[in-house]
Amino acid sequence: MNIQEKIRELEQSLRQRTRAEEELRTLNEELSREIAERRRSDNTLAEQERELATIFENAPFIMLLLDGERRVRRVNGLACSFTGSSAGDMIDRRSGEALRCLHALDNPEGCGFGPQCRECRVRLTVLNTFETGRSHRHVDVSLPLTIQGREETIPFFLSATKVRVADHAMVLVSLQDISEYKKREAQLLHAQKMESIGTLAGGIAHDFNNILTAIFGYGDIALMNMLGDDPRRQHIENMLQAAHRAASLAKDLLLFSRKQGSDMKIVDLNEVVRSVEKFLLRVIGENIACTITLNNGTMPVFADASRLEQVLMNLATNARDAMPNGGSLVITSERIRLDETFVTANGHGNNGVYAMLTVTDNGTGMDDETCRQVFDPFFTKKGLGKGTGLGLAVVYGIIKQHDGQITVSSSPGRGTTFRVYLPLTELAENEKNRVEIYKKPDRGTETILLAEDDETVRNMVQSLLESFGYEVITAVDGEDAVLKFRENCKRVRLLLFDVIMPKKNGMVAYDEIRAIEPGMKVIFASGYSTEAVNEKAQKEADIVAISKPYLPSNLLTIVRGVLDNVRSG
């Protein structure tokens, strides 16, 4: 081989080496990029794992990761704090054992082997998720648990999702404690039930008062036409006395339904308590010690004082009945601020400063079921003939009528505490001077337009007014009343209208008549006083209200007084 061939061979070898070096350099660069990419991927994956671990650990639900044998592989912080166990205590246990389910703890073989376990919705849901891979959301379950030494059944929303972890099929279980949700749901249902019962009670009382109005009316008319020594007089008086008791029952129904009119004004709650103290002592008897501690200063509330007195009397009577062998009754008042949490939990009212009246006894107490029903009308655990079951229902109605709240806490053998919350007010009192009419019934000759849809009441009132010299034009409803007024507008001097009537109610009919004759006076009669009537009667001098049932003498006095006021005006 000559020198030229040797040179060419060396040059070729050099070129191959250069290419090899370039390829090696390229491979090194690609490897470096792959390593950097792998590092970035590993960092990203690690960051995602940290994020997922953080989410898992801080989830607002109890989180359990279960393997194919339903054993716990991982738990979050809430699961530990809820059960009072450490993560180490819960790992490798079945779900029921980890959560301290009573059925699992009571069975020597553990979770899944007790007779109740066959119907356990947690177990069945998890097994179904493993078998089908189908996720479940918000399954309503209840578990009897031992939580930090207490045994209680807790409702949960259960969610279960199948996941793969390190090539193993697992199920991620989340449990949301819905105890508060269930409590608020029960409160809402109770409030709706009470509202429905109140509406029914108001309707019954309205019809009942129409019947009593006729009984009072015809009974009073009969007495007017009897001599003082008539032997039949005693029978009618006894009948009217029974009717008065029936009217008192109807009034309680209206109080419960919150459709009874009120004399609302600013009163000092402490003064209301002081004014009724002597009566309370008589009601509870000498074998019960009564202690009254009132907040310093005034407690101004916008209320009907007589209704608040009735609340106190009913609560005191209830306490007395719970202490047949004597005991103690403690009544206190204080200012308190209710926050949004309290208002939301109790489902009524607004947050703000309230007057809190507390009535506590150390009597027999009540269980939870009784506490839930204690404000229901006609619910009583007293013996036959010892109570109507309306006392606390009336209290409930009065407090709600005052935009307040009432709660009860009790346990068997440990007494009962009622707390009444009434909104405090700083508004200046603005009393209207109203002239009350107290005159003996006098006769008259004026024409009165009577609108009443109840035939019995309409006939009674017509007979009563005509017997005292008045001319009466009758209408069967509001629409008929407007028509009759148009036909007799020159003669009619006074309107006597029922409030609740078909076609047009009394107030609508009156507004139409007032458009024809602006100065026309009206007396509204109602089985229950509505807020609209009360507001109109307070603001307008042409309106007077009378509640059914009424005595004929009272109606005649008011009719005469209104007509005389028209003349003098």
181 vs 438, more confident: 181
- Residue with tokens 């459709």, as numbered in its chain: 259
Q: What are phi and psi of 9, to 5 degrees?
A: -65, -40
> What's the one-letter identity of residue 466?
E
- What pLDDT was estimated at residue 330? 94
Q: Which two tokens stand for residue 356?
A: 């809190």
The pLDDT of 442-464, averaged and rounded, is: 90
Given a cut of 70, is residue 7 above it in pLDDT? yes
The pLDDT of 42-67, averaged and rounded, is: 76
Closest CA to 158 of 26, 61, 234: 61
For 91-110, the pLDDT digits (tens) are: 988 888 888 888 888 788 78
- What pLDDT was estimated at residue 99? 85
pLDDT band at 263 (very low <50, low <70, confident <90, very high): low
For 165-186, the pLDDT digits (tens) are: 877 889 999 998 888 888 777 7
Cβ atoms within 10 Å, residue 93: 19
Q: Which two tokens stand for residue 553?
A: 């003498």
411 vs 114, more confident: 411
For 216-226, the pLDDT digits (tens) are: 888 887 887 78
- What pLDDT was estimated at residue 451? 93
Distances 304 to 121, 169, 457 between C-alpha atoms, Å: 53, 68, 30
Given a cut of 80, is residue 378 above it in pLDDT? no
- What pLDDT was estimated at residue 422? 92
Q: Three-state SS for 161? A: strand
Given a cut of 90, is residue 503 above it in pLDDT? no
Given a cut of 90, is residue 449 above it in pLDDT? yes
Taking the C-alpha atoms of residue 61 and residue 140, their distance in angstroms, rounded to an integer, is 14
- What pLDDT was estimated at residue 450? 94
Given a cut of 80, is residue 273 above it in pLDDT? yes
pLDDT band at 143 (very low <50, low <70, confident <90, very high): confident
98 HSE (CA, 13 A, CB side): 28
Residue 327, phi-psi category: left (phi > 0), alpha (psi -120 to 50), beta (remainder): left
Q: Three-state SS for 308? A: helix
Taking the C-alpha atoms of residue 464 and residue 472, their distance in angstroms, rounded to an integer, is 10
pLDDT band at 252 (very low <50, low <70, confident <90, very high): low
Q: What is the DSSP annotation of 239-277?
A: HHHHHHHHHHHHHHHHHHHT-S----EEEEHHHHHHHHH
CA angle 211, 456, 513 (to 5 degrees): 105
pLDDT band at 384 (very low <50, low <70, confident <90, very high): very low
The pLDDT of 111-139, averaged and rounded, is: 87
For 315-325, the pLDDT digits (tens) are: 998 899 889 88
210 vs 292, more confident: 292
- What pLDDT was estimated at residue 491? 92
230 vs 206, more confident: 230
pTM of the model: 0.47
- What pLDDT was estimated at residue 500? 83
pLDDT band at 496 (very low <50, low <70, confident <90, very high): very high
Given a cut of 80, is residue 345 above it in pLDDT? no
- Residue with tokens 């376990």, as numbered in its chain: 117
- What pLDDT was estimated at residue 533? 59
